[in-house]
Structure 1
Amino acid sequence: MTGTIVEVTIPAEQFALEHTLGELETVTLEIKQMVATNRDSLMPFAWIETDERTAIEEALTNDESVADFQLIAELDTECLYQLEWVARIDHLIRILVEENGTVLAATGQDDTWHLRLLFADHDAVRNTTEYCENNGLDFTVNNILEFNTDHRNRFDLTETQQRALQLAAERGYYSVPRDSTADDLAEELGITHQALSERLRRAHGNLVDQVFVESTGTREPPELTTGESGEDTMAE
């Protein structure tokens, strides 16, 4: 199996923070980490670039999709918040949990969310798309990127970083609850727990820096085809 990265857009009114994005029209919310703790809970950490902290917190307080929020850090004109969303925001959470998908990054601007999702295989992408369609969620797929050698170079990933990401996706490391631990992955790769954590951290950072900084494309997604995992050429 090869990992698959999917670029999608979702209307804010069907997902989260519609009120906040509407009140702060010039503000962009950038989700740096989104953790699904169970089938009904998704805890995002959001960077918000603005010099109007009072307006931000007033909007979050009045946003029906936000159960609670906490200021984590404030740097110049950027604020980092941990958000707790209400239970109704469960469509995307449920299917991501079931299909072992993970949110690499997400940006909310105006009335739309742009997401980069990582799945272990094509079936998970199809199942997610079908689930959203059946539940009335406008889950628009703009691009599908195969996690092969060409895209490894595009994402500025080393062979060992790509191998670690692929193995983590294939073994259910990103599922909730996890089917595989960091120790399991490290043992299979023949490296230490610390080395694995650092490798995944750098790989995630490269994906965000090299992929998510670009605007989401509007071209039709390519036809899904089965690719080679390339494991024989990715030894440590």
Structure 2
Amino acid sequence: MTGTIAEVAFPADEFALGKTLDALDTVRFDIEQVVAYNRNQFMPFVWAGTDDRLGVETAFEADESVRDFQLIGGFETESLYRLEWIKDIELLTQILVEENGTVLTASGKDDTWYLQLLFSEHDAVTRTHEYCRCRGIDLDLQNIHEFSKGRTERYGLTESQRRTLQLAYNTGYYSVPRNASATDLADSLGVTHQSISEKLRRGHSNLVRNTLALNE
């Protein structure tokens, strides 16, 4: 049996933090982890990408989907909160409880949530989509692909790109000051300087596209 990854989008007012996203339309929220305490109660850990902590907490207090929140850590440009949602999140119940799925990534901005979901089987995606259709949940299924080649596939990397990036990290190519040059990497792998440059650029592009830019 092969796992399946589904990338979906849906309106925030059909999920959670609808008023918060509307009030803070330039702020991006990333769910770090969702803890299910029982079938209908979920407590997510959410990153708020802004230095306006007061604005975030004021929005949480006014958001009818938030029962309570706790600041876990505050940093210069982002803060981590644990939230308790007051409403029954039907979609999470279907994904996490009924289909034994996992939320790999979840980001909210403007009025939309973007989720990357992992299911143990392809039919679970079909059932989840049908569940949403029957209940009027506007789930936009943007992409589906099989989870079959280990961790590198999740980030869109080829095996060659993964080895090159790993070598670059291990040898200090990304250190400040730099401890290894592209020429050093090329010599270690027995390839040309141009080949290393292309692998690094394409590897970086794939990493950014499949992590930071996935939900933009």
Q: Is TM-score (shorter-chain normalized) higher than 0.5?
A: yes
Residues 137 and 92 of structure 1: is their aligned pair in 2 closer, same or farther, counting only changes over 3 Å? farther
Counterpart contact for 2:19–2:63, Cα < 8 Å: yes
SS of residue in 2 equivalent to 1:22: helix
Q: CA deviation at 1:124?
A: 0.9
Is the 1:43–1:85 Cα contact (8 Å) retained in structure 2?
Answer: yes
Question: Looking at CA atoms only, which structure, 1 or 2, has the larger radius of gyration?
Answer: 2
* TM-score normalised per structure 2: 0.71
Equivalent AA in structure 1 for residue 19 of structure 2: H
Shift of 1:38: 1.9
CA contact (8 A) 1:3 1:119 kept: yes
Contact 2:156 2:210 in 1 (8 A): no
Cα deviation, residue 4, structure 1: 0.7
- Kept in 2, the 8 Å contact 1:40–1:94? The answer is no
Number of residues of Structure 1 aligned to a counterpart in Structure 2: 169
1:65 aligns with 65
Matched, 1:214 2:187: no
Unaligned residue ranges in structure 2 (runs of 5+): 160-206
Would you say the 8 A contact 2:4–2:122 is kept in 1? yes
Output the amino acid matched with 1:53.
Answer: R
**Structure 1 residue 215 displacement after superposition:** 3.1
What is the distance in 1 between the residues matched to 2:19 and 2:72? 21
Q: Say which SS state the counterpart of residue 68 (structure 2) adopts.
A: strand
- Aligned-partner Cα distance in 2 for 1:75–1:96: 30
C-alpha contact (below 8 Å) 2:147/2:154 kept by paired residues: no
Is the contact made by 1:107 and 1:115 (CA closer than 8 Å) also made in structure 2?
A: yes
TM-superposed CA distance for 1:42, in Å, is: 1.4
1:75, CA displacement in angstroms? 1.2
SS at match of 2:143: strand
* 1:42-85 superposed Cα distances (whole Å, 9 cap, x missing partner): 11111112121111101000100001100000111211000110
- What residue in structure 1 maps to residue 50 of structure 2? 50
What SS class does the counterpart of residue 87 from structure 2 fall into?
coil
Q: Provide Cα deviations, 1:2-33, integer angstroms capped at 9, x if missing partner.
A: 11110000100111101101111111001111
The TM-score with structure 1 as length reference comes to: 0.65
> Deviations 1:174-204 (Å, cap 9, x if unpaired)?
xxxxxxxxxxxxxxxxxxxxxxxxxxxxxxx
Contact persistence 2:107–2:215 (CA under 8 A): no
Tell me the C-alpha RMSD between the 2 structures: 2.5
CA distance in structure 1 between the partners assigned to 2:86 and 2:128 by the alignment: 21
- Any unmatched runs of 5+ in structure 1? 160-207, 218-236
CA shift in 2, pair 1:9/1:156, >3 Å: closer
How far is 1:86 from its partner? Answer: 1.2
1:125 is aligned to 125
Counterpart CA distance in 2 for 1:210 and 1:132 is 27
Distance in 1 between the 2:157 and 2:120 partners? 17
Counterpart of 2:74 in structure 1 is: 74
